[in-house]
């Protein structure tokens, strides 16, 4: 096969630039294979994060030709002809070359009020299949953080990181809010402190998700509708009053860090 030119961002917090590497391309290779061969030949100091090479660990997330993608799941022969641009995820501070500091996400994970089940009944908890299936989709998340990377709320507005959880954590909040055994009510929290209202449904998170989780349709919009139930819908409010349906609010609940 013909040679390919890889334009790779080299640098750290003090600055950087593209460096071109022209290298032979072998049949069936993915971008990560080529990066590894560049490490083995031209640039042994090229930093990149990777682990499973099977699209299941999320470590090798980067931006290929300007779009967030997993390097291990992007086939070279499916990219358009010409140089292939590889840059680190733009939303997070750079450490070196293709490696970024994603600790923003770990801080957000710690803020999620944990699952709060009722006391264990005699015979144990019972879950039905339809309830299990609903949250299963969100459990597919491999935490590559590409949805966080592509979300313009923090990608283009650094200041919003202070009050915005991001799509990856909205699916966590949605999963807990849809759990039949969970007793917390996180609707005020996602509205007031986690910045759900900042999301303007542009669906980029769904577009880049390597696990094809319908983040916007199945998590963010249902969360927004739950917030409408709680704050903007007098009919729903009246219904709750008449039927005396109230959940335990997260203000009352024991807020624990996620495991």
Partner 1 sequence: MAVSESSTKVVLGGARGGPDVATLRQDRWWLQPVITVSVLTAFVIYSTWAAFQNKFYYVGAGVHRDLISPFYSPCLASSCVAGSKIGFAFNGWTLSPALLILIFPLGFRLTCYYYRRSYYRAFWWSPPACAVADSHETYSGETRFPLIMQNMHRYFFYAGLVFNTLLTYDAIRAFRQPGLGFGVTIGTIVLSINAVLLWSYSLSCHACRHLCGGGVRSFSKHPIRYRFWKMLTPLNAKHMNLAWASLIFVALTDVYVRLVASGALTDYKLF
Nearer to partner 1, 3 or 17 (CB): 17
Nearer to partner 1, 56 or 90 (CB): 90
Site membership for partner 1, residue 36 (CB under 8 A):
no
Cβ distance 86 to 63 under 8 Å?
Answer: yes
Q: In this chain, which of 202, 237, 238, 241 binds partner 1, going by CB under 8 A?
A: 202
Q: In this chain, which of 85, 115, 211, 240 binds partner 1, going by CB under 8 A?
A: 85
Q: In this chain, which of 3, 27, 45, 110 binds partner 1, going by CB under 8 A?
A: 110
| 28 phi/psi in degrees, rounded to 5 | 80, 5
| 70 phi/psi in degrees, rounded to 5 | -80, 125
Site membership for partner 1, residue 228 (CB under 8 A):
yes
Smallest gap from Cβ 64 to partner 1, in A, equals 9
| 204 phi/psi in degrees, rounded to 5 | -65, -35
- Considering only the stretches 24-32, 36-44, 136-144, 214-222, report the one whose residues sit in contact with partner 1 under the rule CB under 8 A: 214-222
Smallest gap from Cβ 197 to partner 1, in A, equals 4
Cβ distance 33 to 84 under 8 Å?
Answer: no
* Distance (Å, whole) CA 137 – CA 171: 9
* DSSP H or E segment with residue 61: strand 61-64
Q: In this chain, which of 125, 232, 238, 248 binds partner 1, going by CB under 8 A?
A: 232
* Distance (Å, whole) CA 137 – CA 218: 9
Smallest gap from Cβ 7 to partner 1, in A, equals 9
Task: Using the CB atoms, write b or e for 166-177: b if 16+ within 10 Å.
Answer: bbbbbbbbbbbb
Residues 164-193 that bind partner 1 (CB under 8 A): 177-180, 182, 188-189, 192-193
Closest CA to 43 of 74, 86, 94, 101: 86
Q: In this chain, which of 140, 231, 241, 248 binds partner 1, going by CB under 8 A?
A: 231
Site membership for partner 1, residue 201 (CB under 8 A):
yes
Distant-in-sequence, close-in-space partners of 58: CB < 8 Å, separation ≥ 6: 70, 142, 143, 144, 145, 146, 210
Angle at 248 between CA 237 and CA 250, to 5 degrees: 105
Residues 89-108 that bind partner 1 (CB under 8 A): 89-94, 97-98, 100-101, 103-104, 106-108
Nearer to partner 1, 32 or 190 (CB): 190
Residues 134-163 that bind partner 1 (CB under 8 A): 134, 150, 152-153, 155-162
Site membership for partner 1, residue 250 (CB under 8 A):
yes
């Amino acid at each position: 096969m013909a040679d390919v030119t890889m334009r790779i961002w080299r640098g750290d917090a003090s600055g950087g630039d593209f460096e071109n590497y022209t290298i032979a391309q072998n049949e069936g290779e993915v971008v990560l294979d080529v990066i590894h061969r560049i490490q083995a030949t031209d640039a042994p100091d090229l930093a990149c994060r990777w682990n499973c090479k099977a699209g299941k660990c999320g470590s090798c997330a980067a931006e290929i030709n300007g779009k967030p993608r997993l390097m291990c799941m992007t086939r070279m022969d499916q990219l358009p002809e010409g140089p292939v641009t590889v840059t680190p995820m733009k939303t997070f501070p750079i450490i070196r070359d293709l490696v970024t500091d994603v600790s923003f996400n770990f801080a957000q994970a710690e803020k999620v009020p944990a699952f709060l089940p009722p006391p264990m009944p005699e015979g144990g908890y019972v879950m039905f299949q339809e309830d299990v299936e609903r949250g299963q989709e969100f459990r597919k998340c491999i935490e590559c953080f590409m949805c966080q990377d592509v979300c313009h709320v923090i990608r283009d507005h650094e200041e919003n990181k202070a009050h915005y959880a991001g799509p990856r954590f909205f699916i966590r909040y949605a999963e807990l809010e849809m759990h039949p055994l969970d007793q917390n009510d996180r609707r005020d929290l996602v509205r007031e402190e986690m910045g759900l209202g900042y999301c303007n449904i542009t669906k980029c998170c769904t577009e880049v998700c390597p696990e094809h989780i319908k983040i916007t349709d199945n998590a963010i919009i249902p969360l927004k509708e739950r917030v409408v139930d709680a704050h903007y819908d007098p009919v729903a409010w009246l219904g709750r009053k008449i039927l005396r349906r109230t959940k335990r609010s997260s203000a009352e609940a024991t807020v624990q860090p996620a495991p």
